């Protein structure tokens, strides 16, 4: 019983903190939205008639501030983010549900690429320490960390798309169209994971149980993959939380660069067009997403490494 | 009496000991770290590269570059690839001198105007003077430089005349010289990086040190707050914030307080990058605060503030500097990122992110203007590269335990 209850309590605590965070973000955002002239809580602005009707139906302009604050919060608690402030006949929910699957698949692809290339490069580097391959991989990793993804994406569009004609430049739908943006998005994370894996492997390879495994006459490949890798991947797993946050951020730029109709592009459009309700909705969704991912990562960490105690 | 006067022999021995002690130079933490850093060639190359970069960025107005503003939008110069075509600054030295003379004359007349002169006359003179200043080629070519920049441009004109380095990095959509724009962009990018990192340093160190020193529930509450902030996807919040701050009326109100677009940047970015710094400093302070020198200071009557800022913080400077060198590249990257998205530095200011944006915007299947992407990207990547290397090197040098691992 006790073994089952403890994770549940931790989960409840996490949920409470997430709610607190969301509330904080909401309150700050509301204060800003309320204070800005021409914001969505004032009626004195020039906007197209259709949008005005939409908004007036939803918002109660003449209510006192606290009532507007609570009403909006109530709506959001029911996952109703109200009408877009700039796009005619669109609710924020529609925009988010349209863009989100696109961004999610891009992000998942990027994360998979990062894990695949990062761990492979890290394992090869560690098992051939100080060889040419090791130096080359680690040099590449340093470059990957330092180069901003929009520089990398810009250069790779020029080279891969226009000089070599290998892949299409933009758009969304086919696997060829996903490949280049996902690779560009994953590059810095793959680089970081490679460094983490290499450091973890080097540490683990010096431990006694690895020597025992070798002494039993196992193939070096088996020792590395089946015995060492599991221990070496722990830092990588704990890095997945920040990596997810980074990929969310990076997808803002990459989506824009490759003209991908994901929620990242929508968010930037909203920011440039001062679409406050859409921005509010997206910020809250991203905050929630990040919290959920972090909790998942922590739990999976505890599952992989029994020594780790959740708190 | 038991107290014996020291003999001559004793005295000379003490003197010898003293001399010997004076000769021994204690190796301070900083000397030690510097010695270790010097052995790390990658970090040293990065250090010299950055020093050179900062110096050239500072003296950019003095270099014989073309004007970053001047447009040559004819067919021949629009998107001109890198070349060695001879080019000169687009103004006559005599004209500039003439304008300056006239402006000085107007200013003198304005000063000589009797106190009871009609207000209209005074206002007219002022308008004339402003118009003359606006027409000045320096303002036209260099976007109203400040005092120091003006002086440097003057020196550049005096030494090099109208001669410029040809467009070895090509020209952009409006025929502006990319080389000059990369150099001028360096100034903005570096200043944003340095100042925002400084803001984050001040907030992070004071916050972390206070939390660590005060301890107890204050510490718990302060660090919980940091945890909550950590779980906010900051880029999104910052972009949200910037939409508000760049709203017309808000911007004007802030401008009235002397806060312009770039200043908003330092403050906003600095205000979010302090979290890691606060955590690190807090950890260090907690391990230091039970040391004897803190007890000694307290016995001496020092208050909490004095103990924190005079006794504890100097002891964590090493790790703070390491984190600072690692914060600067991420801040610069963030600035480039926002400027790239069109939410950061606004024209006529230039920064590397903005240049990248301009370059990537015009990538088309028909023609590839690779120089518009390559050169700003190279500048940005090299700087970030050097800062990362230097940060890693400094961490190894200041924290020897890490190297041994």
Provide the number of structural domains found in chain A.
Answer: 1
Q: Which of A109-123, B236-250, B317-331 has the lowest mean pLDDT?
A: B236-250
Q: Is A80 a member of any domain?
A: no
Q: Specify the long-range contacts of residues B116-122, CB closer than 8 Å, at least 24 apart.
A: none
Residue B335 contacts residue B193 (beta carbons within 8 Å): yes
Could you tell me the pTM of the whole model? 0.76
Across the interface, do B233 and A20 touch by the CB < 8 Å criterion?
no
Give the mean pLDDT of B231-253.
75
Q: Which residue has the higher pLDDT, B308 or A49?
A: B308
The pLDDT of residue B135 is 74
Nearest 5°: phi and psi at B89?
A: -60, 145
CA distance to A211, B32, B301, per residue, from A101 (Å): 47, 54, 63
A140 to chain B: closest CA residue: B385
| CATH code (residue A209) | 1.10.3720.10
Residue B304 contacts residue B214 (beta carbons within 8 Å): yes
What dotted CATH number matches B44-86+172-402?
Answer: 1.10.3720.10
How far B36 CA sits from the closest chain A CA (Å)?
21
Q: Is A7 a member of any domain?
A: no
Q: Is A120 a member of any domain?
A: yes
Q: Is B4 helix (H, G, I), strand (E, B) or coil?
A: coil
B52 pLDDT higher than 90: yes
Q: Is A310 a member of any domain?
A: no
Question: CA angle, corner B151, sides to B147 and B157, nearest 5?
Answer: 145
% of chain A residues with pLDDT over 70: 87
Maximum mean pLDDT: which of A124-128, B48-52, B245-249, B260-264: B48-52
Tell me which residue in A142, A154, A162 faces B359 most closely, judged by beta carbons: A154
pLDDT digits (tens, 9 = 90+) for B84-100: 777 777 777 777 778 77
A 105-144: CB under 8 A from B: 142-143
The pLDDT of residue B400 is 54
Domain of residue A161, residue span: 101-273
Residue A264 contacts residue A103 (beta carbons within 8 Å): yes
Interface test with A, best of B240, B242, B330 (most A CBs within 10 A): B240
Q: Which residues of B touch A163 (CB under 8 A)?
A: 368
* Mean pLDDT computed over every residue of chain B: 80
Cα separation, B203 vs A303, in Å, equals 37
* Mean pLDDT computed over every residue of chain A: 81
pLDDT digits (tens, 9 = 90+) for B173-229: 787 888 888 888 888 888 888 888 888 888 998 899 889 888 889 988 888 888 888
The pLDDT of residue A119 is 92
DSSP B308-363: IIIIIHHHHHHHHHHHHHHHHHHHHHHHHHHHHTTSSS-TTS--HHHHHHHHHHT-
Residue A298 contacts residue A109 (beta carbons within 8 Å): no
Q: Is A149 a member of any domain?
A: yes
Closest Cα to residue B204, out of B265, B285, B262?
Answer: B285
The pLDDT of residue A59 is 58
Give the mean pLDDT of B252-275.
76
* Residue B171: strand pairing partners: B177
CA distance to A56, A254, B241, B242, per residue, from A47 (Å): 12, 31, 22, 22
The pLDDT of residue B55 is 92
The pLDDT of residue B405 is 34
Could you say which DSSP state residue B6 is in?
A: P
Q: How many Cα neighbours within 13 Å face the side chain of A104? A: 11
Cα separation, B165 vs B180, in Å, equals 9
Using the Cα atoms of residue B374, residue B375, residue B376 and residue B378 in order, give the sign of their dihedral. Answer: positive
Nearest 5°: phi and psi at B177?
A: -75, 125
* Annotated domain spans of chain B: 44-86+172-402, 88-163
A166 pLDDT higher than 80: no
Contacts of residue B304, defined as CB under 8 A and 6 or more positions apart, other chains included, come to B213, B214
Q: Which residues of A touch B233 (CB under 8 A)?
A: 245, 248-249, 283, 286-287, 289-290
Cα separation, A186 vs B198, in Å, equals 30
Give the mean pLDDT of A152-166.
81
Give the mean pLDDT of B278-282.
87
Q: Is A260 a member of any domain?
A: yes
A179 pLDDT higher than 90: no
Q: How confident is the model at residue B167 (pLDDT cuts 50, 70, 90)?
A: confident
The pLDDT of residue B403 is 39
The pLDDT of residue A308 is 63
Across the interface, do A21 and B365 touch by the CB < 8 Å criterion?
no
Q: Which residues of A touch B235 (CB under 8 A)?
A: 249, 252
B367 to chain A: closest CA residue: A162
The pLDDT of residue A33 is 76
Q: How confident is the model at residue A231 (pLDDT cuts 50, 70, 90)?
A: confident
Q: Buried b / exposed e across B347-385, counting CB within 10 Å, b at 16+?
A: eebbbbbbbbbbbbeebeeeebbbbbbbbbbbbbbbbbb
Q: Is A61 a member of any domain?
A: no
Contacts of residue B175, defined as CB under 8 A and 6 or more positions apart, other chains included, come to B71, B72, B73, B74, B77, B78, B80
User: The tokens of B391 are what?
Assistant: 């940060």
A/B interface, count of CB pairs below 8 Å: 133
Q: Is B299 helix (H, G, I), strand (E, B) or coil?
A: helix
Q: How confident is the model at residue B366 (pLDDT cuts 50, 70, 90)?
A: low
A160, A166, A170, A172 alpha-carbon torsion, rounded to 10°: -130
How far B31 CA sits from the closest chain A CA (Å)?
28
The pLDDT of residue B402 is 46
Across the interface, do A25 and B329 touch by the CB < 8 Å criterion?
no
Q: Which residues of A touch B333 (CB under 8 A)?
A: 148
Longest dimension (CA), chain A: 80
Contacts of residue A58, defined as CB under 8 A and 6 or more positions apart, other chains included, come to A75, A82, A83
Give the mean pLDDT of B289-293.
84
Across the interface, do A147 and B384 touch by the CB < 8 Å criterion?
yes
Tell me which residue in A36, A279, A289 faces B250 most closely, judged by beta carbons: A36
Residue A192 contacts residue A238 (beta carbons within 8 Å): no
The pLDDT of residue A1 is 46
How far A36 CA sits from the closest chain B CA (Å)?
7
Q: Is A53 a member of any domain?
A: no
Closest Cα to residue B88, out of B60, B103, B119, B66?
Answer: B66
Give the position of tokens 């000089």: A163
pLDDT digits (tens, 9 = 90+) for A18-66: 888 888 888 888 887 777 665 555 555 566 777 766 666 665 666 677 7
């Amino acid at each position: 019983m006790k073994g089952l209850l403890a994770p549940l309590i931790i989960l409840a605590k996490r949920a409470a903190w997430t709610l607190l965070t969301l509330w904080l973000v909401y309150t700050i955002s509301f204060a800003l939205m309320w204070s800005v002239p021409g914001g969505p809580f004032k009626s004195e602005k020039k906007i197209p008639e259709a949008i005005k009707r939409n908004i007036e139906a939803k918002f109660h302009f003449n209510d006192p501030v606290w009532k507007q604050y609570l009403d909006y919060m109530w709506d959001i608690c029911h996952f109703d983010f109200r009408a877009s402030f700039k796009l005619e006949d669109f609710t924020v929910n529609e925009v988010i549900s349209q863009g989100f699957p696109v961004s999610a698949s891009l992000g998942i692809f990027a994360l998979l690429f990062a894990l695949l290339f990062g761990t492979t490069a890290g394992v090869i580097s560690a098992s051939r320490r100080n060889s040419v391959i090791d130096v080359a991989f680690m040099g590449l990793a340093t470059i990957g960390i330092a180069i901003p993804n929009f520089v990398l994406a810009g250069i790779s569009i020029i080279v891969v798309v226009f000089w070599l004609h290998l892949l299409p430049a933009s758009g969304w739908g086919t696997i060829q169209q996903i490949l280049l943006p996902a690779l560009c998005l994953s590059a810095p994370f793959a680089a970081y994971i490679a460094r983490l894996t290499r450091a973890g492997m080097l540490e683990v390879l010096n431990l006694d149980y690895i020597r025992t495994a070798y002494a039993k006459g196992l193939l070096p490949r088996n020792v590395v993959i089946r015995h060492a890798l599991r221990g070496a991947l722990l830092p990588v797993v704990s890095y997945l939380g920040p990596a997810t946050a980074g990929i969310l951020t990076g997808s803002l730029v990459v989506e824009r660069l490759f003209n991908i109709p994901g929620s990242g592009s929508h968010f930037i459009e909203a920011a440039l067009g001062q679409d406050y309700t859409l921005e509010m909705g997206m910020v809250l969704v991203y905050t929630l997403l990040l919290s959920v991912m972090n909790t998942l990562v922590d739990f999976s960490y505890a599952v992989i490494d029994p020594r780790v105690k959740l708190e | 009496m038991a107290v014996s006067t020291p003999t001559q022999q004793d005295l000379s021995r003490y003197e010898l000991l003293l001399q010997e002690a004076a000769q021994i130079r204690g190796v301070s933490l900083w000397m030690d770290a510097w010695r270790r850093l010097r052995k790390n060639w990658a970090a040293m190359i990065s250090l010299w590269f950055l020093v050179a970069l900062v110096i050239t960025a500072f003296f950019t107005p003095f270099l014989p570059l073309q004007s970053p503003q001047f447009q040559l939008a004819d067919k021949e110069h629009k998107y001109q690839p890198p070349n060695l075509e001879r080019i000169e600054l687009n103004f006559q030295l005599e004209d500039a001198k003439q304008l300056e003379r006239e402006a000085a004359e107007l200013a003198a007349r304005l000063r000589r105007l009797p106190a009871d002169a009609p207000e209209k006359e005074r206002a007219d003179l002022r308008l004339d003077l402003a118009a003359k200043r606006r027409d000045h080629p320096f303002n036209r070519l260099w976007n109203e430089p400040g005092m120091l920049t003006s002086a440097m441009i003057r020196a550049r004109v005096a030494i090099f005349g109208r001669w410029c380095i040809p467009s070895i990095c090509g020209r952009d959509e409006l025929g502006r010289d990319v080389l000059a724009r990369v150099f001028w962009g360096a100034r903005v990018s570096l200043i944003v990086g340095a100042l925002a990192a400084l803001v984050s340093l001040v907030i992070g160190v004071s916050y972390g040190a206070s939390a660590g020193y005060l301890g107890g529930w204050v510490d718990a509450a302060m660090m919980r707050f940091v945890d909550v902030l950590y779980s906010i996807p900051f880029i999104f919040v910052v972009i949200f914030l910037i939409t508000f701050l760049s709203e017309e009326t808000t911007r004007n109100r802030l401008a009235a307080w002397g806060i312009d677009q770039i200043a908003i940047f330092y403050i906003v970015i600095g205000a979010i990058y302090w979290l890691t710094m606060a955590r690190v400093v807090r950890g260090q302070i907690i391990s230091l605060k039970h040391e004897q020198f803190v007890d000694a200071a307290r016995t001496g009557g020092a208050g909490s503030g004095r103990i924190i800022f005079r006794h504890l913080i100097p002891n964590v400077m090493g790790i703070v500097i390491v984190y600072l060198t690692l914060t600067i590249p991420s801040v610069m990257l963030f600035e480039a990122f926002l400027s790239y998205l069109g939410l950061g530095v606004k024209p006529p200011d230039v920064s590397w992110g903005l240049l990248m944006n301009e370059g990537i915007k015009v990538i088309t299947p028909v023609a590839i203007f690779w120089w518009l992407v390559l050169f700003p990207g190279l500048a940005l990547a090299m700087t970030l590269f050097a800062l990362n290397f230097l940060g890693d090197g400094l961490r190894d040098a200041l924290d020897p335990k890490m190297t041994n691992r």
